[in-house]
């Protein structure tokens, strides 16, 4: 049987375990910095103030517990009781909540995520650049033959109703936008460790373009190693 792993989830857990040890102030600051970089999984994340902008169906208790597991030493204070479902693609769901720092945090629920594992999610630093569209690989699984990517993000254009982009193999993906401008899209590919810099296009109800941006999501740094843009973690191609 092939083992499916989520290296993004494993990396987050590694960071949070290091933070909880509290070995030294310098170490904690270093971990916080790594998490700030890890939040670059939503490249060009949008920093939003206020409490009334985030809408959606209330998150189930396991997701609330996930946000409750966030380590405050990492620099953010999610508000678990305000977590809502903001986007979905079949069994893959994206949940978000506000935090006391004025941005948002997200959790991705996937079929391969172990229900007893609570990594606390990822929070978006306010210093990240703003833009009309944010995007990042928010979850990933792999087996011997293929990988399943989950791309998520947010569109700032109020008229946007769907998002379109190309996979590493050039296939076109178009996914409806959920609540509060968020979207999530899952797809399977055999193009493992690609130099992937898709152009994302937001469309209105008539199919007309209302926003566009190009974001590097993955890059190959050697024949056997690739990196997620904004994430200080490498994974083996084989």
**How far is it, in rounded angstroms, from Cα 89 to Cα 39?**
21
Q: Judge contact between 123 and 39, C-beta under 8 A.
A: yes
Output 176 or 28, whichever has higher pLDDT: 176
The pLDDT mean for the chain works out to: 77
Q: What is the pLDDT of residue 100?
A: 93
Containing H/E element for 13?
A: helix 7-21
Q: Judge contact between 152 and 105, C-beta under 8 A.
A: no
Beta bridge mates, 234: 227
DSSP 25: H
DSSP 82: G
Per-residue pLDDT, averaged over 195-203, amounts to 93
Q: What is the pLDDT of residue 212?
A: 95
Burial of 223 (0-12, 13-18, 19+ CB in 10 A): exposed
- Identify the top-confidence range among 36-50, 80-94, 206-220, 224-238: 80-94
> Alpha carbon 225 to chain centroid distance?
21
Which pLDDT band holds residue 226 (cuts at 50, 70, 90)? confident
Residues 6 or more apart from 106 whose CB is under 8 A from it?
Answer: 42, 86, 94, 95, 96, 97, 121, 122, 124, 138, 152
List pLDDT tens digits, range 159-173: 999 999 999 999 999
Residues 6 or more apart from 111 whose CB is under 8 A from it?
Answer: 91, 92
Q: Which of 15, 36, 231 is nearest to 120 (CA)?
A: 15
Contacts of 216-219 with C-beta under 8 Å, sequence gap 24+, read 216/43, 217/43, 217/135, 217/136, 217/137, 217/151, 218/137, 218/168, 218/193, 218/194, 219/195
Please compute Rg for the chain using Cα positions: 17
Residues 6 or more apart from 170 whose CB is under 8 A from it?
Answer: none
Which pLDDT band holds residue 98 (cuts at 50, 70, 90)? very high
**How far is it, in rounded angstroms, from Cα 223 to Cα 71?**
36
**How far is it, in rounded angstroms, from Cα 8 to Cα 150?**
11
List pLDDT tens digits, range 49-69: 334 689 999 999 999 999 999
List pLDDT tens digits, range 181-194: 999 999 998 887 78
């Amino acid at each position: 049987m092939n083992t499916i792993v989520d290296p993004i989830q494993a990396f987050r857990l590694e960071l949070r375990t290091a933070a909880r040890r509290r070995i030294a102030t310098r170490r904690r600051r270093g971990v916080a910095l790594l998490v700030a970089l890890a939040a670059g999984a939503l490249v060009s994340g949008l920093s939003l103030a206020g409490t009334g902008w985030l809408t959606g169906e209330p998150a189930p208790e396991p997701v609330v517990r996930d946000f409750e597991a966030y380590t405050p030493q990492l620099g953010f204070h999610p508000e678990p009781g305000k977590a809502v479902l903001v986007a979905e693609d079949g069994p893959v769901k994206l949940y978000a909540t506000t935090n006391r720092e004025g941005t948002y945090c997200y959790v991705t629920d996937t079929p391969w995520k172990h229900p007893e594992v609570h990594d606390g999610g990822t929070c978006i630093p306010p210093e990240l650049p703003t833009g009309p569209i944010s995007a990042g690989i928010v979850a990933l699984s792999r087996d011997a033959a293929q990988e399943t990517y989950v791309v998520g993000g947010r569109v700032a254009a109020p008229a946007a109703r769907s998002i379109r982009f190309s996979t590493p193999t050039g296939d076109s993906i178009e996914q409806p936008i959920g609540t509060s401008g968020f979207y999530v899209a899952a797809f399977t590919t055999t193009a493992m460790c690609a130099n992937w810099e898709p152009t994302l296009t937001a469309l209105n109800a008539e199919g007309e373009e209302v926003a566009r941006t190009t974001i590097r999501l993955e890059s190959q740094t050697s024949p056997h190693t690739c990196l997620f843009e904004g994430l200080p973690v490498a994974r083996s191609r084989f």
